[in-house]
Amino acid sequence: MKKFTVFLFFSLFVTIIVVLCITNNQQLTINNQQEFVDTVEIRKNAKLLTFIDDDGHTSFVDKLLPIIKEKNISISMAIETSRAGTRNYMDWETIRECHEQGAEVLNHSKYHIYSKAESEKRSKDDIRNEMIESIEDLSSNGYEETSDIWVYPGASAGATVTICSKVMRCGINSSGSVVNDYEFIKMHKYGLKRFPICNHMTNTLEDLKGYINQLNETPGWEIWMMHSIYNEMSEDFLNDFRKAIDYCLENNIRIVSVKEALDFYGVINENKN
Ligand SMILES: [Zn+2]
């Protein structure tokens, strides 16, 4: 009889433990599902804007660095690694100073071979080696984290695209056009919109607000591809650009670096290729 009572109590104890475990697990699963749904919603409705300035000219320091400091935002600069420190290009020390203030440092190739015709003349090994060397140049200067974020120096076609898809974390077409190739397909899932700014054209405040409104209407990720070197990036434009940044903040648009945007979307894209 005593044995039976002990057995009964033991069974009851085990049952309670099992029931507790199951309830707890179910709770955990429900919480995870809710968290997943919430995360999807947050990402679907997020409005992200990134500014990328091409080529790493000293004009970045004169025109955009003051705005980075003033507005406390990130502006990315796409660096041609072999030209750093040559005439009109920032040297590594200046790049470091900009980075410390909030500029993101991206890969814009080593030699900037940009035309489609020139690219097609090159061997695949040549293209791959240049990409790897540019990654090494950026890494050895302390930018390993963003060294494989590639901003095309023009030709986003043929072998360059195929090799980029293997060597780089992502490739972004710097001209702002949408092409039916690797980097577009990859970026399309983020609802990526791209606009060339000051690329041999004048952009008024109305233009800029129009680009921002598109993001307001259809949330996603938008990139402005900028060229601070061009005269179109004038004092007048820079004042409008400041107003556009304020307009973003009023409209709940987050100004982010490329890495921040990729990390933001990357976690949820389980089929990330
Ligand atoms: Zn360029």
* Domain range annotation of the chain: 47-266
Q: Considering the chain, what is the average pLDDT of its residues?
A: 84
* Residue with the larger pLDDT of the pair 199 and 32: 199
- Give the pLDDT of residue 152: 87
User: Distance from the CA of 220 to the center of ligand 1, in angstroms?
Assistant: 25
201 pLDDT above the threshold of 90: no
Q: Kindly report the pTM of this predicted structure.
A: 0.81
Three-state secondary structure call for residue 182: helix
Per the CB < 8 A criterion, the answer to whether 89 and 80 are in contact is yes
What tokens were used for 255? 């100004």
| Average of per-residue pLDDT across 99-126 | 90
- For ligand 1, the distance from its centroid to the CA atom of residue 232, given in whole angstroms, is 16
C-alpha of residue 78 to centroid of ligand 1, in Å: 8
Structure-model confidence comparison of residues 4 and 58, the more confident one: 58
Q: What is the CATH number of domain 47-266?
A: 3.20.20.370
Tokens standing for 132?
């790897």
* 154 alpha carbon – ligand 1 mean position (Å): 7
Q: Is the pLDDT of residue 2 over 50?
A: yes
pLDDT value of position 146? 96
Q: How confident is the model at residue 113, as a pLDDT?
A: 85
Residues with Cβ within 5 Å of ion ligand 1?
54-55, 153
CA of 156 from ligand 1 middle (Å) equals: 12
Cβ–Cβ < 8 Å for 80, 229: no
Q: Work out the angle between the directed axes of helices 158-167 and 124-140 (0-180°, nearest 10).
A: 40
Residue 25 has pLDDT above 70, yes or no: no
Question: What is the pLDDT at residue 17?
Answer: 65
Reduce the DSSP state of residue 41 to 3 states and report it: helix
Helical axes 235-250 vs 205-217, angle rounded to 10° = 20
Please tell me the distance from the alpha carbon of residue 229 to that of residue 1, in angstroms, as a whole number. 94
At 268, is the pLDDT very low, low, confident or very high (cuts 50, 70, 90)?
Answer: very low
pLDDT tens, residue by residue, 136-184: 999 999 999 999 998 988 766 778 888 888 888 888 876 554 443 444 4
How much is the pLDDT for 24?
59
- Could you please report the per-residue DSSP string of 95-151? HHHHHHHT-EEEE--SS----HHHHHHS-HHHHHHHHHHHHHHHHHTT-GGGTTEEE
Give 22 Cα–ligand 1 centroid separation in angstroms.
58
Compute the distance from residue 45 Cα to the ligand 1 centre, in Å: 32
The H-assigned helical ranges of 168-267 are 182-188, 205-217, 235-250, 258-266
